[in-house]
Structure 1
Amino acid sequence: MTQLYDSSAQRPGALPPPGCPAHAGTGAEPLHAPEFGRDPFAVYRRLREAHGPLAPVELDGGVPAMLCVGYETALEIMRRPETFSKDPRNWRDRNEGLLSESSFAPRVLRPRPQVDFVDGEEHRRLRGAIEDSTGRIDPGALRTYVERTADTLIDQFCEAGEAELIGSYCALVPVLVMGQLFGCPQEIMDRLLRGVAAFIDGSDPLGGDRVAAEALRELIDLKRREPAADITSWLIAHPARLTDEELVEQLLLLLGMGTGVMPGLIGSALRLLLTDERFSGDVMGGSMLVEDALDEVLWTDPPLANMGLYFPVHDTNIGGTRLRAGDAVMISLAATNRDALLRSPHKQGNRAHLAFGAGPHACPGRSSARLIASVALEKLLDRIPDLALAGEVEQLKWLSGVFVRGVITLPVRFAPVIKPGSRRTMVPPGVRPGERDQPPHPDQRDGRQDAPQGASPLPSVPSLSLSLPAPPGSGGEFQPEGEDRQKQQSALLGFLTRWRRSR
């Protein structure tokens, strides 16, 4: 018979191990402590052994929550919207003034008209607008955007024979693609990324949120005047008639996937492809191995390690724990996928992982996110097939905060590849890149423009600005505005520098 215990008390008969914070009398594991950052999976195992599928934790100073580390319990919570709300207005500790105003979690997980923070009809209306608008992106067109973005970035380091791939590739691909899909001009993208950086690394979450929101409001005003074939314009025109505040919030959510989660997915999958013998061999760049590597990451080390909070709307019993109405419950996607009691254990081709959530609040952009990641990996391994990790895997640095996890350094070495003309041509021994004349770019021969029909030519390096074709039948093009290329590159590199530091 399952023994129930109150969420505010320690599980009966479960003694904390030596050195556990529970010896201090709180019983809550501090997820903001260095120990969690060093080895979160050891903490998850200890919590599961001591408490079962729901364990008391502290998100940051003075912010208690229950962490769900059990797969079946997580599914039950995510699939019972009538009992478990995502609306922070139900957070009892917040409503009773028990949370510190300086704590990070309450400032980020606050009431807002975003699809991930509302329930019921409001949630269905916002989610419908997102799904309808993102659904207008043709997968073939999206693949083209990613391939051309990847080619431009690879051209910037392929002749060097070495690179740090997180900052120069894994994090930039989704950022640039999202900017194009939003139809975002360079000057607005500059401020948008600065705001997102301050939000992600916690240096000024509220200030960063305001800067990003102001940039998006300017983008929305522009698209109201000059609609085009982009997600922003489609959201504005959707029959759900989103307010400007609602438009800002849904765009922030989509941008957060591209800047806070997808770099970790691409980087961690690439780490596996470079270091795990299961993914090595003559066909390392094959699409099936790339898909298998993505599945492995999503099962064993998902980039969104712990997702937003759920709040029971009434007292309830679940997973052997009695929860009070308004208790904060966080789903650990990283821990639940490794649950030893999992009925569908991870094996090749099994995509029953919870990395994208489940139930009505499952990630609405999961198919596009996976396509972007897979194409970015395939393109890189096709262009530079002999990539090898420079150094030992144990020396890699990790971003391991409460919410997001992933490698933040991935140095590689390879035989230099000449970018113009024949991209497969290796630089002859003893010749440094740039020391000999290079053939003209195919798009520049005799003044001809050989870009695909309807597409704008790729810009010359070092520009990171791309003009990409709109999806077929949409009747328009994505046209970034402005010529200040150095400003755009500086904004992106500034964002990446702060992103690397966000721990």
Structure 2
Amino acid sequence: MTSPDSCPAASPDGAMTDDPTTDGPPSLYGPEFAADPESVYGRLRSFGPVAPVELSPGVPGMLVTDYDVALEILRDMDRFPRDARRWQQGIPSDCPILPIMAYRPTCHLSDDPLRARLRDAVTDTLDRVDQNILRGFVERCADRLIAQIGPQGEADLRTEYSLILPLQVFNELCGCPAELGDRMVAAIQEVLKWENSEEANMTLGLAVLELMALKREQPGQDLTTWLLNHPGELTDEEVAHQLVMIIGAGSELVQNLIINALRLLLSDDRFAGDLSGGSMSVEDALEEVLWTDPPLANFGVTYPLEPLDFHGVKLPADEPVVISFAAANNDPSTLAEHRAGNRAHLAWGIGPHTCPAQGQARIIATVAIEKLLDGLPDMELAVPVDELTWRPGFIQRALSSLPVRFPALPEPEPDPFAGPSRADERDDADALETLAAPAPAPAPVAQEAPAPPTPARWWRRLVKWWAADTD
């Protein structure tokens, strides 16, 4: 397990302080911040639109809490590039936030011209996913999970539903066999715990390489094959990193969006009277969560190449400038009384690094919630809402658990929810529309993934990238 003292100049207790200019900057880690981040944002606003914080023990950064200033930074790639390599040279390899913030050749962590080429490949690939097929994936996965938890009469909706569903859907879209997908899921969850993250980071990288090796031998109608064959001619390293971004970041943010919206639907009187009323209340809940508790709370990290005097604040060179999407969305100067239908929030980012998968994420979250509310219409929280706890970490805004109870459903007939047959999976894959370059005809799906090939030179380079080794 990573020790908090593994980062330089670790503070003795990581406690939040009141004045970032005299007593040291507030920390954005630990249970105190997770329990009440808005109080920290409120204190930081009193020092201007950007204020110093501690991202991890001994790791300083600057946090942007002002909506208009956040927009300015997100749109300015010249003064605020995304490449973290100069910053990470001074960060120990076992620092828990390094696997999340270290440079990768992905469309959200790189600068032009690389960013544009990678983003074209990712958006072209995601655009080839037929929305009706995606809805079918989500519905089948939701049905299976509801059938499993329904007879229990109680469940933790995070660990038994929202955590599992988006990972299964993204693995399905990437053509990932079940056993390999299980390994990816386990590794992603370890990375996001920020414990043993270096080892989990390596495990995840090797699993992605194995998936790529499988798809080179047996291409299909899936995101992995399409990225490998995209006319942008991505290297194997680049393909692997885009896959981790899609599966890891996509599934993590979607699960947080689902669980945060369910918390709102089950606890807020504005929604509680109409839980089975259909898509309108679900859409309203999703939009409110994207404003008030966005699943990606603080990210969009940039690294000025030289010191900047910016809105009266001195920004050091090569020090992270983190956009607080949560704080900027709730900037008192821009709050509106009525947000229904207003999508001017920053939850998906904005500008050249806008989330390329937001359409797919919204479909997955909406269908997952609707299916759950239809399947368990009398569901209620098992504990008072103020007793729910939040996971630590400054990047995500996510509940630790969401316990609920409901009238138990009858036990299902033996084995009707064992999952789609291989034939069904091939039918769904074949139905995905080809909107970019023609994909090769799918080969029969293998029962087990073949062993990865003998490591080639590019393979060893990618392992070094995954370990955040840029020497």
Q: TM-score range by the shorter chain?
A: 0.7 to 0.9
Note if contact 2:391-2:400 (Cα within 8 Å) is conserved in structure 1: yes
The residue type equivalent to 1:52 in the other structure is: G
Distance 1:132 1:250 in 2: 13
Q: How does 1:4-153 map to 2 (within 5 A)?
A: 20=17, 22=19, 25=22, 27-49=24-46, 51-91=47-87, 94-95=88-89, 97=90, 99-153=91-145
Distance 2:446 2:377 in 1: 32
Q: How does 1:229-308 map to 2 (within 5 A)?
A: 229-282=221-274, 284-308=276-300
Report the Cα offset of residue 145 of structure 1: 0.6
- The partner residue of 2:409 within 410, 417, 426 is 417
Note if contact 1:181-1:478 (Cα within 8 Å) is conserved in structure 2: no
Distance 1:478 1:135 in 2: 24
Distance 1:460 1:33 in 2: 39
Identity %: 42
Structure 2 equivalent of residue 459 of structure 1: 418
Note if contact 2:20-2:51 (Cα within 8 Å) is conserved in structure 1: no
Note if contact 2:155-2:403 (Cα within 8 Å) is conserved in structure 1: yes
Structure 2 equivalent of residue 332 of structure 1: 324
Distance 1:116 1:55 in 2: 23
Report the Cα offset of residue 254 of structure 1: 0.8
Greater Rg over alpha carbons, structure: 1
Report the Cα offset of residue 205 of structure 1: 1.6
1:277-321 alpha-carbon deviations (Å, 9 max, x no partner) = 111224644101101000111100111111142012344333331
1:357-414 alpha-carbon deviations (Å, 9 max, x no partner) = 1111111111100110000001111122111111211222221311112112212122
In structure 1, list runs of 5 or more residues that go unmatched. Answer: 1-17, 421-437, 444-457, 484-503
Distance 2:125 2:20 in 1: 51
Normalised by the length of structure 1, the TM-score is 0.79
Note if contact 1:195-1:212 (Cα within 8 Å) is conserved in structure 2: yes
Q: How does 1:354-503 map to 2 (within 5 A)?
A: 354-418=346-410, 420=412, 459=418, 467=425, 469-470=428-429, 471-473=431-433, 476=442, 479=445, 481-482=447-448
1:158-194 alpha-carbon deviations (Å, 9 max, x no partner) = 1222222111111111011011011001222132223
Distance 1:84 1:335 in 2: 19
Q: How does 1:82-231 map to 2 (within 5 A)?
A: 82-91=78-87, 94-95=88-89, 97=90, 99-231=91-223
Distance 2:61 2:152 in 1: 48
* Structure 2 residue matching 1:55: 3-state secondary structure: strand
The residue type equivalent to 1:209 in the other structure is: N
Note if contact 1:73-1:318 (Cα within 8 Å) is conserved in structure 2: no
Note if contact 1:54-1:68 (Cα within 8 Å) is conserved in structure 2: yes
How many residues matched? Answer: 426
Distance 1:285 1:460 in 2: 28
Report the Cα offset of residue 196 of structure 1: 1.5
The residue type equivalent to 2:84 in the other structure is: P
1:25-56 alpha-carbon deviations (Å, 9 max, x no partner) = 4531121244212211111111112x111010
Distance verdict in 2 for CA 1:341–1:478, change over 3 Å: farther
Report the Cα offset of residue 472 of structure 1: 4.2
Note if contact 1:306-1:404 (Cα within 8 Å) is conserved in structure 2: yes
Distance verdict in 2 for CA 1:476–1:106, change over 3 Å: closer
Distance 1:477 1:357 in 2: 38
Normalised by the length of structure 2, the TM-score is 0.84
* Structure 1 residue matching 2:43: 3-state secondary structure: helix
* Structure 2 residue matching 1:58: 3-state secondary structure: strand
Distance verdict in 2 for CA 1:416–1:35, change over 3 Å: closer
1:243-271 alpha-carbon deviations (Å, 9 max, x no partner) = 11111110111112344222111011011
The residue type equivalent to 1:48 in the other structure is: R
The residue type equivalent to 2:447 in the other structure is: E
Note if contact 2:275-2:377 (Cα within 8 Å) is conserved in structure 1: no
In structure 2, list runs of 5 or more residues that go unmatched. Answer: 1-14, 435-440, 450-471
* Structure 1 residue matching 2:349: 3-state secondary structure: coil
Distance 1:119 1:345 in 2: 37
Note if contact 2:18-2:43 (Cα within 8 Å) is conserved in structure 1: no
The residue type equivalent to 1:82 in the other structure is: D
The residue type equivalent to 1:239 in the other structure is: P
